[in-house]
Amino acid sequence: MSTISKVLTVAILLILGGGAVFLATWDMPPPSQKVEKVIPNEKILR
């Protein structure tokens, strides 16, 4: 294996590992939009 392919392999592994760590530790905020649904009385009384 040539030096260039070794460097590329290590770089790709580092990028994938860093992306996995980022996604595992990212504290994504929940959606803050209110959802209001109107339920007709016919559905409740069944």
Residue 17: how many other CB atoms lie within 10 Å: 10
3-class secondary-structure state, position 31: coil
Q: Residue 44: its pLDDT value, please? A: 75
List the domain boundaries for the chain.
3-44
Q: What is the pLDDT of residues 27-43, one digit of tens each?
A: 988 888 988 988 888 77
Give the integer Cα–Cα distance in Å for 26 and 9: 26
The model's pTM: 0.57
Q: Residue 30: its pLDDT value, please? A: 87
Q: What is the mean pLDDT of residues 4-11?
A: 96
Q: Report the percent of the chain where pLDDT is more than 90.
A: 57
The kind and range of the H/E element at 40 are none
